[in-house]
């Protein structure tokens, strides 16, 4: 064993969504089976990178349909442990992956990417944020990811290292929900990932000092109860391959 888009669907809605996705895939191809659909539950911070990986994998494997379920890693972990269908789990931290492994629902995880934190502010920086110490300013609207979600736990660790007691106005369920609020100007600042800032045209990044920043390791594993173990193994192998790693690097992720 290796030592949180806006909102997340509840389990019943998730199951309905995945069922509809499978039906839609079958209708579009005319011959799609469980063996040609790969259900991938992935951390919200992987949204842009995995969208490109999905396309590249499907081009390399004609007839295969990758269905992405994106959300906070802790929510995805609960879904998988409660029996929601998934062939692959890609988490933004090792803690949630370890809980899935210890629950007997996945094995042999491998770290495939790394990430770091950055403060995102709306274009023009209306709150005049200059660094992590400003997050303690009660006059600013500040957001973090919720506790238990990797970006929230990592932000808490960074703030602790920096000796800053942030005046937090909202805790969002995943990093994409938080980023959206910063992009819209609803928040003056939010602690997200470097990759989220790089992938947005509506925010500017303010660096967190190296002495306070935290590196996140992203593990991936095939689930033990998925309907498509061969497809899951192939998808994991692609993410770990030179092609997969090149896509991740283009989106700002670091190597393991």
pLDDT for the residue 35:
72
Whether the CA torsion 118, 119, 120, 125 is positive or negative: it is: negative
CB of 74 closer than 8 Å to CB of 56: no
Which pairing describes strands 142-145 and 37-43: parallel, antiparallel, or unpaired?
unpaired
pLDDT in the model for residue 128: 98
What is the pTM for the complete model shown?
0.84
What whole-number distance in Å separates Cα of residue 178 and Cα of residue 190?
A: 7
Using the predicted structure, report yes or no on whether residue 7 has a pLDDT greater than 50.
no
CATH numbers and ranges of domains, the chain: 11-113+217-250 (3.40.190.10), 115-215 (3.40.190.10)
251 contacts 199 by C-beta, under 8 angstroms: yes
Which tops the pLDDT comparison, 37 or 19? Answer: 37
> Residue 30 has what pLDDT?
43
pLDDT (mean) for 212-224: 97
pLDDT tens column, 103-120: 999 999 999 999 999 999
How much is the mean pLDDT over the chain? 90
Query: Cα 248–249–255 angle (5° rounding)?
Result: 90
What residue has token string 């000796």? 163
30-87: pLDDT as tens digits:
444 567 999 999 999 999 999 999 999 999 999 999 999 999 999 999 999 999 999 9
Q: For residue 122, give both structure tokens.
A: 């709306």
User: How large is the average pLDDT for residues 135-157?
Assistant: 97
pLDDT at 5: 35
> Could you give the CA distance from residue 248 to residue 231 in angstroms, rounded to a whole number?
20
Tokens coding 64: 């295969």
Rounded Cα distance between 218 and 215, Å, is: 10
Write down the pLDDT at residue 98: 97
For residues 10-38, average pLDDT: 54
């Amino acid at each position: 064993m290796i030592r949180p888009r806006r909102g997340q669907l509840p389990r019943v809605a998730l199951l309905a969504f995945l069922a509809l996705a499978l039906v839609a895939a079958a209708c579009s191809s005319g011959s799609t089976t469980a063996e040609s659909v790969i259900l991938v539950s992935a951390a919200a911070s992987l949204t842009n990178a995995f969208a490109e990986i999905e396309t590249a994998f499907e081009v390399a494997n004609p007839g295969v349909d990758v269905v992405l379920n994106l959300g906070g890693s802790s929510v995805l972990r609960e879904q998988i442990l409660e029996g929601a269908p998934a062939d692959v789990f890609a988490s933004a931290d090792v803690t949630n992956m370890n809980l899935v492994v210890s629950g007997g629902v996945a094995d042999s995880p491998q770290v495939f990417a790394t990430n770091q934190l950055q403060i995102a502010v709306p274009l023009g920086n209306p709150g005049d944020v200059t660094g992590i110490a400003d997050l303690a300013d009660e006059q600013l609207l500040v957001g973090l990811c919720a506790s238990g979600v990797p970006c929230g736990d990592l932000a808490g660790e960074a703030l602790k290292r920096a000796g800053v007691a942030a005046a937090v106005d909202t805790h969002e369920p995943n990093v994409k929900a938080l980023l959206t609020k910063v992009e819209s100007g609803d928040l003056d600042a939010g602690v997200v990932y470097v990759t989220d800032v790089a992938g947005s045209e509506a925010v500017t990044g303010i660096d967190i000092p190296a002495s306070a920043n935290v590196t996140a390791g992203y593990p991936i594993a095939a689930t033990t109860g998925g309907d498509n173990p061969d497809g899951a193994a192939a998808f994991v192998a692609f993410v770990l391959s030179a092609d997969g790693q090149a896509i991740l690097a283009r989106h700002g992720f670091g190597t393991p």
